[in-house]
């Protein structure tokens, strides 16, 4: 298995599109399974369409269902940071995608997106692993 | 890695049980990991019991938490289609299951189910991949 | 692929930390992908921080969003058991993590946790699988 570490600067954005990095990582590797993993307790990885409003819709959904207020038992960081800690449990910290001829078999409108509502840390690591067929 | 494409006609149903197809795909393949992947931006794959009400309960939960109204920024398709686009982020687009002696190690009440609330497209592709042990 | 079955007694707790068992299972196995799978229709596996309040926050979130009342079509078990059946669909029944030199590459605050709100069955099986690189 080949694993590479991707350094991501979210620039404070809640959503960062990692599809290009995923495609580059798989190129030339033939058939297999690619696994993207977010080794952080306050961020998640999902597949979602970007650029047609759904990324904003997800952000709104998260604000409604994980409000950034003082309801959380978790008290580190700024008010609402407890919400960030529920993200990986609800959305997941990893995604697996089959690869054929070095191309991840994403649907036309699927993008690999890092969800990171934690404004206090812009630097994230993502682990991309390839299991050969 | 062996990958097969499954063609699914949902018949407009929100839930389609794919367990039989999964079991058939794994038969005779020995030990390994099977991965089911939905290459669509508006459908999800989950493990859930079917036939005892929980499939209906999930449909109700989704209607409540992802209402089909005009709140979404995503505006393609009919009213409420924006909800479909949040499904894969919330429920996940893929499922991995260990396989022993060609049998996926699902619990007694676990079924592999395609969740597809998009009434405008009945035809779906599912990618089933087997990684040998 | 090596698969081991872990027997877990939840002691009636909603959250059971399985990180130590995961780390032990991976030790000495080199590089690869570890997959943890919960073969039950009423429990889930997630990555979340434990010991700083977020585990309680998740329990509260689940009680709010999956109330234990008589709203469910699923009628087996005690009142509210229908909620348990939605857990694996919402949170997921499996988690994959890259492994380097026998160590799962979890972030500092990530723990592998079994979520099991079903009070009527304390005994659970978890399948841990290792795919060599």
Could C89 and B48 be called an inter-chain contact, meaning their C-beta atoms sit closer than 8 Å? yes
Given a cut of 90, is residue A75 above it in pLDDT?
A: no
Number of domain units in chain B: 1
Q: Minimal Cα–Cα distance from C15 to chain B, Å?
A: 20
Report if pTM > 0.80. Answer: yes
Q: Minimal Cα–Cα distance from A95 to chain B, Å?
A: 8
| CATH assignment at residue C54 | 2.60.120.460
Given a cut of 80, is residue B50 above it in pLDDT?
A: yes
Domain that holds residue C18: 2-132
What's the number of CA atoms in the CB half-sphere (13 Å) around residue C103?
6
Residues of chain B with C-beta less than 8 angstroms from the C-beta of C41? 47-49, 54, 107-110
User: Could you give the CA distance from residue C100 to residue C123 in angstroms, rounded to a whole number?
Assistant: 31
Q: How far is CA B121 from CA A2, A59, B87, C60, C77, in A?
A: 37, 26, 15, 37, 37
In chain B, what is the straight-line distance between the N-terminal and C-terminal CA atoms, in Å?
Answer: 10
Q: What is the pLDDT of residues A96-112, one digit of tens each?
A: 999 999 999 999 999 99
Q: What is the pLDDT of residues A38-54, one digit of tens each?
A: 999 999 999 999 998 99
**Average pLDDT, rounded, for chain B:** 94
């Amino acid at each position: 298995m080949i694993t590479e570490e991707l350094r991501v600067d979210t620039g404070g954005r809640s959503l960062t599109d990692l599809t290009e990095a995923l495609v580059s990582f798989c190129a030339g590797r033939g058939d297999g399974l690619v696994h993207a993993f977010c080794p952080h307790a306050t961020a998640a990885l999902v597949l979602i369409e970007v650029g047609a409003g759904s990324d904003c819709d997800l952000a709104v959904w998260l604000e409604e269902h994980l409000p950034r207020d003082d309801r959380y038992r978790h008290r580190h960081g700024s008010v609402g940071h407890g919400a960030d800690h529920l993200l990986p449990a609800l959305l997941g910290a990893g995604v697996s995608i089959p690869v054929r001829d070095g191309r991840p078999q994403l649907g036309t409108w699927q993008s690999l997106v890092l969800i990171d509502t934690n404004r206090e840390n812009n630097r994230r690591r993502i682990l991309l692993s390839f299991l050969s067929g």
